[in-house]
Structures are given as structure tokens and as C-alpha cells.
A and B are shown apart, each in its own frame.
Chain A
Amino acid sequence: MSTMAGEGARIAKAPLDSMTARQKRMERYGYLFISPWLLGFFAFTFIPIAASIFLSFSRYSVLRPPEFIGLTNYRYALLGGDRLMWPSIGRSFRYAVFMVPLALTGSLLVAILLNQKVKGIAYWRTFYFLPTLTPGVASAILWGWLLNPELGLVNYLIGGLGLPTPRWFASPQWALPGIILIGMWGSVGGGSMIIFLAGLQDIPVELVEAADIDGAGRLRKFWNITLPILSPVIFFNLIIGIIGALRVFETAFVATRGGPARATWFISLHIYATAFEYFDFGYAAALAWVLVVIIVSMTVLQFRLAKSWVFYQGA
């Protein structure tokens, strides 16, 4: 039976000048079918990205045409003119340093728990995944109430144990841990956990059985089999986690507006305020590209370091 997929595979293999009329027609159909996505990609992703490169070298407030000013925006950002930028980046890194390991470890542990053969496991998996389905804004508002220093449930419980109650978003010292707590709630049982779960189910049974025969204990099996085989998955989640953490925005925007005293003024918030509150879109575009360069550099560094600890089966 001839299928579209089979036809597509033949077209992909055929050199352009040797394609039959039918193959060429099928190719045109292919482009036709993906054209809605292509149009959306160009209109809403590619062109804005390209425009933002140009805008980063401009003075632009939306209210008048962009004016090319060369490297002025980048000089202002990188050479200390903007006294908020580097501290904002520092805060984003501080958030990432705590958030990424906690979220990775938490979601791996939850994935291991949800990989057990126990009754009702499908319900448990659903239960743990539910927080991820809550929109970030809604969860930030919810946690804003829970962490209210005076009326919140969290401090009510902590106080009930006779412990000192943090001031959370009213305190510069406790605001960042509060934001991390919200982030953890949304990410421990989220996409990372699902990917870990898939990775765990992909571990060859024969390796585990061989280890059992050799008398290996649970910890030894975890350390010598599970972790090495999961390492590509851990690496993937690490990369995604770092990128996500450095872009932290909505929880801080809703819960603290960057305060108190700029304790949660992350770089994404700085970019947002510059663009949408101060209408300095040109400079905001430059800040965004500085963030892109930092994230790409971090990712390249991770790929280099990965050679020493990521194990690919069959590689």
C-alpha cells in the first residue's frame, strides 16, 4: 500500500533534478501543508527576532521610527552605565544556582517514586503533574496568599510548630527563597519529571538483572546503572532547567514586582520594565541579546563539560 509517509521518504531521497512530476507535485503539497506553520514562524518568531537585532542598535520607543545609534545601547549596558543590569543578572544566576539543582533532584526523586509498580500509579502520576498545568500567574497569586507574612497558611503552620515565621515577600532576605519555592512547586512534578520517568523506563532490564545476580544493592544499582544511563536525560533537563531559570519572570512579576528593594529584580524583569514601562524598546532589545549571549555561552559550556560525565548507550 502506498502511503504519504512512504512517498515523502522517496521524495526526500531523490535528487531534485531526477524527481518525477508526481514527486515534485508531492513536494509542493508538503510545503503547502506546512505553510500555516511556516507563515506563523516567520511572522511571529523569525521576523521579530531579526527585528530585535536591528532595534538593539537603535533608539526606539514605538512612538517614532527607530533611530540607529550604533553600539550605544550595548556600551550603556556592559560598561556600567546601567547600574541595574549586572546586579539583575547576578540575581538571576543566584536563582538558577538554587533552583536548578533543587528542581532536578526533586523531579528525579519523584520520577523514581512514580516508576514503582504500585496500585493506582496512574493517579499518582496525574496528581504530581497537576501543578504544572496551573498557569504561572495563577500559581504566583496563590502562593502570594499562602506566603502572606501575617495571614498566610504557610506561616500559620510554621508558627504552629513554634518556629520563627519568615516575612517572605516583605523581606529582601526571604523574597528569593519564596520565589524559588513557587518555582519548585511548578517544576518538580513537571516536564522534567516526565522526561526522567521515560528515561527510567528505558533502562535495560538485563543490566539490572545482571547486577542483581552479582549481588548489587539498591544504591549501587542506582549509582552504577541508573545514573549513567540517565545521564543524557539529566543533561537535557539541566540545559532546559538553566535556560528556564535564567529567564525567570512571571512569578516575580506577579508576586513581588521585583521587590522588596529590588531583591527579586531579575534580568527578565529589567528587560520588561525597560521595554513596557519605560518604553525604551531599543535598549530592552540590547539587554535581551546580552541575555541570549549569556545563555548560549552557558549552554556551550555545558556541552563541553558534558563530555566528561554524560554516557550515551552504544556511542
Chain B
Amino acid sequence: MDLLSLVASNTLGDIVWFPPRMRNHISWGVLYNIVVDHMPFVEAENYDLGQFFPGVVASSTFQGRLYWMPFRNEGTQPVIGYHIPLAEELGMPEPHDDFTFDELIEWAKIGTQGDVWGYAMRGRGFNAWAAELKQFGVEVIDDEGVTAFPGNSVENMKKAMRYSWDLSYTHEVAPKPEHGSTSELWFAQRVVAISMNVGNMTAWPIQANVDQSDVGFFYPPVENKGDRRRSNLNEHVHGVTRSSKHPEDAWTWLKWHSSKEFNVGGILSGMVGAVGRPDVFADPRVQEAMPHYAKLAAIMPDIEPDWFALNYRGAELETESNVVMEQVMLGDLTIDQAAPLLAEECQLILDRPPA
């Protein structure tokens, strides 16, 4: 709201920060005219956008215009963190990076003992389980940003919903809704493993009073062995404002802010998250201080921009996903009812004009 107030009063300053959801940051360039197209800066000095992962640049680009520069970039819930001592105590073998969904369930079954569950998903909004949805072949919106659940996505969504249901009810390796929403405080206390993003990697062990060195990481499962690993981009970005009185200086600052040295220094001094450029992950100082970032480095080259809602109503889609999935997990809707209903509700939202 502070940002909105600054925009409304035309006192935004030279640079603005934004945490996009379903690429609604594009609206700040296209619809609201708040940030400038950065491509003229890039072209004027042959600035190399190839120093960033392709998905990172694609996420902030629309119709050939680059509206934002990357800051923190990661896959959304791209890893599963697990508590090594607890897993060993429960007799769970060391997890590996090419689990299928079925194998993860079998692994979690071993750890589900007494009051402890073997595995918990972070949540069931689109963002929270985008990695799983992608692996099942679900596209929430088509590339143009206007059609909900294109192609086989409704059928694939049923498979994803079935997986979520089976975790809690068929195999009983994950909490049910009656246990409350997934809490970071459960990590290493009531659940052995939980899906995480970069922030969680660093923050949750601290909150759960667990030593970082006791936390191991492995990738979310795939449907079939050898499937390409997929995830959506979860990011924070900065851009030069149209009201900037010093756009050239602002651009210079942005380049520094997105540079390797700034971000390596940031990570080493405790900043959560990494800028979307390979050389940061490859830096020996980062590899030594944050060895778990190696998991991210391997998936970032294939990272995909988040789904794009052309009317920028992605937050409403996210809410809808949560509500329908809650109804499924509570048994109020069958999976056969829920998947088409979710598609229908999402389409209604996408059919509305931009706010």
C-alpha cells in the first residue's frame, strides 16, 4: 500500500521494487505506465542480457520491451528440505534427486510414525505447488494469458489433485486440513520433509531451531523417470520509473544492483535469495558459504516465467486455487468436479477487464 500511495501521489522516486505474481509486474509498464521500457538502455550500450538466465529476462519482457531488471530470482518451491537426523532416526534411506511421485510417497511412508508425517507440501495455491503442477503437465494459463487450463490441463490437474489427496488420505503420509495449514514450525518437529523455496531454506531451520547443517535438500518428484524438471520463476524485480528525474543514473544503479559482485556480496552478508545469473551460483565464495544453492543452480537454466494473466488478475486466480483445493481436501468436492470447476472459475476471472 505504501507503494500505491507513492504512485498515486506521483512521488515514486527513480526506482521501484515489485514482487510479481503471475507476471502482474508487466502491468506497471504496459497498463499503468509507471516503469519505462529498459530496452533502449540495453541497446544504447550493448548491455549483455545473456548474463542472466533466459527465463529471468523473459519474465520481465513483454512484446519486446524489458520493463524490469532482476533482483531475487528462484524457482517456486524448487526443492524439498528434510531433517537429516530425524530421517535417520526414523530409518528413512537418504533421498535422491530423481524421485518419482510414487517413490517419494514410499519414502515418506517410512518416516510416517506416531505423530510425525514423512512429507508435507507447502500449500495448494498455484504458486506453492507450481513445480508439481508443471511435472503433471498442468498449465494454469495459456501463453497469451487469456485461456485458463488450455489443452489437457484439466485432465492433468485431476492427476495433480489425486496426488495431493493420496498424500493425506490414501497413504496418510502428509497432514490433513484438520491439522491446520502447513506450518514452518512443523518442519523437523512433525514433518520430516517439506517443499521449500530459497527463503525457506534459510529461514525455516532457524525458526524450527534446527541447525542448517542438519538440513538436506532434494528435488521435487517427477511423474516418470527422466522427465525434464520444471518450475516457475518466483522473483523480486526493480525498474526505472517514468517519473524519474535521473533515468540514466537510475539505470546505472540498476546494473550494479543486478551485477554479480553486488549479489555475491549480498548473499555472503546474509541476503536471502540470489539474482538470476549463472556466475553468482558459480562463484566459489557462494558455493562455500551456501552449498545448498547448488540445487538451485542446476534448475535455473530451465526456469520458466510464471503463468501470465493478461488482465493481471493473478492474485485472484491464486485465491481461487486455494479455495477449490481446500474444498477437495475437505471432501466437499470430488476431484472430477473440482478440476473443471477450477478451470471455469479461473476463466471467469481471466475474462474480466483489468482493474
- A residues engaging B (CB < 8 A)? 59-64, 83, 148-150, 167, 169-172, 259-262, 273, 276-283
Within 8 A of A (CB), among B311-345: 313, 315-316, 319, 322-323, 326-327, 330, 332, 345
Given A62-B8, A63-B28, A170-B180; 16 other pairs, CB 8 A cutoff: A59-B355, A62-B4, A63-B27, A63-B31, A63-B34, A64-B31, A149-B180, A171-B178, A171-B330, A172-B330, A260-B330, A261-B330, A277-B315, A277-B319, A278-B316, A283-B355
B355-A279 in contact (CB<8A): yes
Q: Is B207 an interface residue (CB 8 A)?
A: no
- Kindly list chain B residues whose C-beta atoms are within 8 Å of the C-beta of A170: 177-180
Residues in A with CB closer than 8 Å to B322 are 259
Q: Tell me whether A64 and B32 are in contact in the complex, defined as CB-CB below 8 angstroms, given that A261-B330, A277-B315, A279-B355 are known contacts.
A: yes
List of A residues within 8 angstroms of B332 by Cβ: 172, 261
Whether the pair B33, A64 counts as a contact (CB closer than 8 A) is yes
A279-B177 Cα distance, complex, nearest whole Å: 29
Q: How many A-B residue pairs have CB under 8 A?
A: 66
Q: Are A61 and B355 in contact (CB under 8 A)?
A: yes
Main secondary structure of the interface of B (DSSP, over half): helix
Q: Which of chain B's residues have a CB closer than 8 A to the CB of A171?
A: 177-178, 330
Q: B residues touching A (Cβ–Cβ < 8 Å)?
A: 1, 4-5, 7-8, 27-28, 31-34, 177-180, 313, 315-316, 319, 322-323, 326-327, 330, 332, 345, 348, 353-355
For B180, give the chain A residue with the smallest CB separation: A170
Q: Which of A59, A167, A169, A277 contacts B353 (CB 8 A)?
A: A59
Given contacts A149-B178, A172-B330, A260-B330, contact A63 B319 (CB under 8 A): no
Q: What is the CB-to-nearest-CB distance from A275 to chain B, in angstroms, rounded to a whole number?
A: 10
From residue B159, how far is it (CB to closest CB) to chain A in Å? 22
B348 proximity list for chain A (CB < 8 A): 83
Contacts A62-B8, A83-B348; A278 near B323 (Cβ below 8 A): no
- 28 A-B pairs (CB sep. < 8 Å): A60-B355, A61-B32, A62-B4, A62-B5, A63-B7, A63-B28, A63-B34, A64-B31, A64-B32, A149-B178, A149-B179, A167-B178, A169-B180, A170-B177, A260-B177, A260-B326, A260-B330, A261-B323, A261-B330, A262-B323, A273-B319, A276-B1, A278-B313, A278-B316, A278-B355, A281-B355, A282-B355, A283-B355
Contacts of B313 in A (CB 8 A): 278
Whether B1 contacts A150 by the Cβ 8 Å rule is: no
Q: A63-B28, A278-B355 are in contact. Are A150 and B179 (CB under 8 A)?
A: yes
Specify which chain B residues have a CB less than 8 angstroms from the CB of A282 in the assembled complex. 355
- A64-B31, A148-B180, A170-B177 known; A261-B315 Cβ under 8 A: no
Closest CB in chain A relative to B325 CB, distance in Å: 9
User: Closest 5 CB pairs between A and B?
Assistant: A280-B355, A63-B32, A261-B326, A61-B355, A62-B4
Across the interface, do A62 and B327 meet the contact criterion of CB distance under 8 Å?
Answer: no
A residues less than 8 Å from B177 (CB atoms) = 170-171, 260
A283: which B residues are within 8 A, CB to CB?
355
User: Which residue on B lies nearest to A169, using beta carbons?
Assistant: B180
* Cα-based distance from A276 to B32 in the complex (angstroms): 17
- The residue of chain A having its C-beta at the shortest distance from the C-beta of B177 within the complex is A170
Establish whether residues A259 and B326, one from each chain, have CB atoms under 8 Å apart when the complex forms: yes
Closest Cβ–Cβ distance, residue A168 to chain B (whole Å)? 9
Give the residues in chain B near A59, CB-CB below 8 Å.
353, 355
| A63 contact set on B, CB distance < 8 A | 4, 7-8, 27-28, 31-32, 34
User: Is there an interface contact between B315 and A278, defined as CB atoms closer than 8 Å?
Assistant: yes
Considering the chains assembled together, what is the distance between the CA atoms of A63 and B4 in angstroms? 7
Q: Which residues of chain B have C-beta atoms less than 8 A from A278's C-beta?
A: 313, 315-316, 355
- List the B side residues contacting A148 at CB < 8 Å: 180
Which A residues lie within 8 Å of B345 (CB)? 83
**Chain A residues near B32 (CB-CB < 8 A):** 61, 63-64
Residues of A within 8 A of B1 (CB): 276
| Distance between Cα atoms of A262 and B330 in the complex (Å) | 12
- Which of chain B's residues have a CB closer than 8 A to the CB of A167? 178
Instruction: Tell me, in angstroms, the Cα distance from A282 to B330 when the chains sit together.
Output: 34
Residue of B nearest to A151 (CB): B180
What's the Cα separation between A280 and B34 when bound, in Å?
A: 17
B330 surroundings in chain A (CB, below 8 A): 171-172, 260-261
Q: Please, how many angstroms separate the alpha-carbon atoms of A59 and B354 in the complex?
A: 9
**CB nearest to B328 among chain A residues:** A261
A259 neighbours in B (Cβ, 8 Å): 322-323, 326
A42 to B163, CA, bound (A): 56
Contacts of B326 in A (CB 8 A): 259-261
Measured CA separation A148–B327 after assembly (Å) = 20
Q: Nearest A residue to B28 by beta-carbon distance?
A: A63
Bound form: Cα–Cα A148–B178 in Å: 10
A64 to B31, CA, bound (A): 9
Given the complex, which residues of A lie within 8 Å of B355, measured CB to CB?
59-61, 278-283
Q: Which residues of B contact A262 (CB under 8 A)?
A: 323
* A224 → B minimal CB distance (Å): 50
Q: Kindly provide the distance from the CB of A201 to the nearest chain B CB, expressed in whole angstroms.
A: 45
Bound Cα distance A277, B355 (Å): 11
Measured CB to CB, the closest approach of chain A to B214, in angstroms, equals 24
Question: Chain B residues near A276 (CB, 8 Å)?
Answer: 1
Most buried by B among A63, A276, A282: A63
Which residues of A have CB within 8 Å of B319? 273, 277
Q: In the assembly, what is the distance between CA of A172 and CA of B332, in Å?
A: 10
CA distance A61 to B27 in the complex (A): 11
